[in-house]
Structure 1
Amino acid sequence: MTLEQFTREEGQLARRYDYDDGTVFAVDFGSDVADASVDLVDDTVIVVVDDEQYEIELSDDVADAHTFIKNGVLTVELEEEL
């Protein structure tokens, strides 16, 4: 998963945080986002923001993933296999 997929629009803030047991991606689409949703299907994160759709394949070393979007901020938490 790469942050470049989310930073097409100028001013869009995206960050990656690496921890011992996993990684967290946070993407701020802005509080004015009218319609946003995120879903996890098998090893694919599907994000729909207004009329844009993003599909991100997770790597094989991800044991578990949690996704949510709130107030225009997408969070993807990835737990790596030990």
Structure 2
Amino acid sequence: MTLEQFTRNEGQVARRYEYDDGAVLVVDFGTGVADASVDLVDDTVIVIVDDEQYEFELPEGASDAHTFIKNGVLTVELEGDL
């Protein structure tokens, strides 16, 4: 999973936090986001922000993932041996 695809727009911040039992990916699309949604289909995270769509595969070893987006901030919580 690459964070570079989320930082194409200037001022957009993406971070990955590693923990013993998993990882968390956070992308701040900004407060100006009018319409945003996230869905998890099999091992693919699909993010739609305004008219742009982003897709990425969960990393090897991810046994479970939880996704949500609120106030323009996408959070993907990954569990497993990453």
Q: Distance in 1 between matches of 2:11 and 2:81?
A: 34
The 5 A counterparts of 1:30-45 are 30-45=30-45
Matched, 1:3 2:16: no
Q: Distance in 1 between matches of 2:70 and 2:38?
A: 10
Extract structure 1 runs of 4+ deviating beyond 4 A: none
Query: Amino acid of the residue matched to residue 2 of structure 1?
Result: T
C-alpha distance after superposition, 1:53-80 (max 9, x if no partner): 0010112310000000000000000001
C-alpha distance after superposition, 1:12-54 (max 9, x if no partner): 0111100000000000000110000000000000000001000
Count residues with an aligned counterpart: 82
> Counterpart in 1 of 2:24?
24
Unaligned runs of 5+ in 1: none
Unaligned runs of 5+ in 2: none
> Counterpart in 2 of 1:67?
67
- What's the Cα RMSD here? 1.2
TM-score normalised to structure 1 length: 0.95
TM-score normalised to structure 2 length: 0.95
Q: Distance in 2 between matches of 1:40 and 1:61?
A: 16
> Counterpart in 2 of 1:76?
76
Q: Percent identity among equivalent residues?
A: 79
